[in-house]
Chains A and B, each alone.
Chain A
Amino acid sequence: MSNKTVVQATINGEEVEFLCETRQSLLEVLRDVLRLTGTKEGCNNGNCGACNVILEGVLVNSCLVLGVEVQGKSITTIEGIASPQGLHPLQQKFLEHAALQCGICTPGVLVSAKALLDRHPHPSEHEVRHWLAGNLCRCTGYDKIVHAILDAADVMSAEVTK
């Protein structure tokens, strides 16, 4: 009985093939096998959101997905948010608003925010706060994060209508 399995998936638009143990989470695969260490581990049990990635267009905790479950699936991690042209508006606004301190929660928050704006391009403040309920931040008190996201949403819709 071999517990190592070959898995093919598309990560940040690139087709990859990796070998993983069935018991490895997607989070472990990303960090330890593929060396995509932007995705962070906080709680490892679904509560903090530091490990959030977008799987087939849906926001998930990568610590609650097995590596073997993503066979044939497409995943966006924090490494896939910026474009060759530069930072994503969310990243830009996080810098401008100083929406981070230690930064451990930031990749997960950015991925959550990206998933939110993909689905709801004009969220209310309440919607942003509700959507981020599964992202814990020990440092910022959330206010700057929420305003950076609202500001990014404004900038992005202005770009679309330009």
Chain B
Amino acid sequence: MQAFEYIPATTVNEAIAILHQQGDQARLISGGTDLIVQLREGRRKPKIVVDIKRIPEVNQLSYNLIDGLTIGAAVPCYKLYGSAVIKETYPGLIDAASLIGGVQIQGRATLGGNLCNASPAADSIPALIAHNAIAVVAGMNGERHIPVQDFCTSPGRTQLEPDEMLVSIQVPAPRAHSYGAYLRFTPRNEMDIAVVGVGVWVALDDTRVVITAARIALGAVGPTPLFVNEAGASLVGQPIGSQAIEKAALIAQLAAKPITDMRGSAEQRRHLVAVLTRRALDSAIARASA
């Protein structure tokens, strides 16, 4: 690993000022489970590594019925499933957070780092998109909000300017009878990278038989995680049941743009999109009907 200067920042402004002065010579570290591997392999060569974990705002983890869930950019995955209320309210996010690596990775890895690393196969991003999450970003010109569905621009690249940082992820408060789910396919159950990942979110009416809103997002079938608006929209107004689900799964499948690589062929991935979309919808609907 090449030498670098290490700065533990204590405020958002301090971290942004360093990014502003140093441009791409500086890199933020959150859990480090992506960055340290990249530094070791020489894939990134920053002169300065800025640790954000001592900044109060990025350690927030709070939930209330009005603002929903705030996940600070440096909150490790294990804290999400360590919270009973988050587990109960957002099981679709927990599905993803408890799949990232194994327990020892989840002791460090953050959803913020998962998002900023912008891997097409990142597990949390389809789940966050399905939940309509917003990235709260701070820069020299103040704060801006970017929907997670627009955050990634290509593999490893995001909408962040060189002097901007992610502060937190905001997940809207749940509507009545609404739940998410995330499923992925991997050859091994744990410690593997998604061949395909599917995040969904579904809201039902008071009778719990008609779908009033739905969102579907796909991972590992395009250069970025993919929000498939039409697939979710096709479910609105439909009674729960295999017909509507089948149609949404087909739309998702048509929207996928998979490639063939060492993890799977394009054909297998297309097949998996339909299967996982169906199963994830079943799971979210079961949660919302319970």
Asked if A pairs with B, the answer is: yes
Which residues from chain A sit less than 8 Å from chain B, CB to CB? 1, 3, 5, 21-23, 25, 44-47, 49, 52, 55, 58-61, 63-66, 68-69, 71, 112, 115, 130-131, 133-135
How far, in whole Å, are A134 and B98 apart by their CA atoms in the complex?
13
A contact patch SS:
mixed
Q: How many residues of B contact A (CB 8 A)?
A: 30
- CB closest residue in chain B, given A44: B40
A–B pairs, 14, beta carbons within 8 Å: A3-B3, A22-B5, A46-B104, A46-B105, A47-B191, A58-B78, A59-B103, A64-B105, A64-B108, A66-B36, A130-B190, A133-B103, A134-B102, A134-B103
* A-B interface pairs (CB < 8 A), number: 86
Are A133 and B191 in contact, CB atoms less than 8 angstroms apart?
A: yes
Which residues from chain B sit less than 8 Å from chain A, CB to CB? 1-6, 8, 29, 31-33, 36-37, 39-40, 49, 51, 53, 76, 78, 101-105, 107-108, 189-191
How far, in whole Å, are A1 and B6 apart by their CA atoms in the complex?
10
How far, in whole Å, are A115 and B78 apart by their CA atoms in the complex?
13
Identify the 5 closest CB pairs spanning chains A and B, nearest first: A134-B102, A133-B190, A22-B6, A23-B1, A58-B107
- CB closest residue in chain A, given B108: A60
How far, in whole Å, are A80 and B51 apart by their CA atoms in the complex?
28
How far, in whole Å, are A71 and B54 apart by their CA atoms in the complex?
11
Are B190 and A134 in contact, CB atoms less than 8 angstroms apart?
A: yes
| Residue from B6, B104, B191 in contact with A66 in the complex, judged by beta carbons closer than 8 Å | B6
How far, in whole Å, are A23 and B32 apart by their CA atoms in the complex?
12
Question: How close is B58's CB to chain A, nearest CB, in angstroms?
Answer: 15
Residues of chain B lying within 8 A (CB to CB) of residue A5: 6
- CB closest residue in chain A, given B53: A69
Are B189 and A133 in contact, CB atoms less than 8 angstroms apart?
A: yes
Residues of chain B lying within 8 A (CB to CB) of residue A52: 104
Residues of chain B lying within 8 A (CB to CB) of residue A68: 6, 8, 51
How far, in whole Å, are A55 and B108 apart by their CA atoms in the complex?
10
Question: How close is A52's CB to chain B, nearest CB, in angstroms?
Answer: 6
| Residue from A21, A25, A71, A134 in contact with B104 in the complex, judged by beta carbons closer than 8 Å | A134
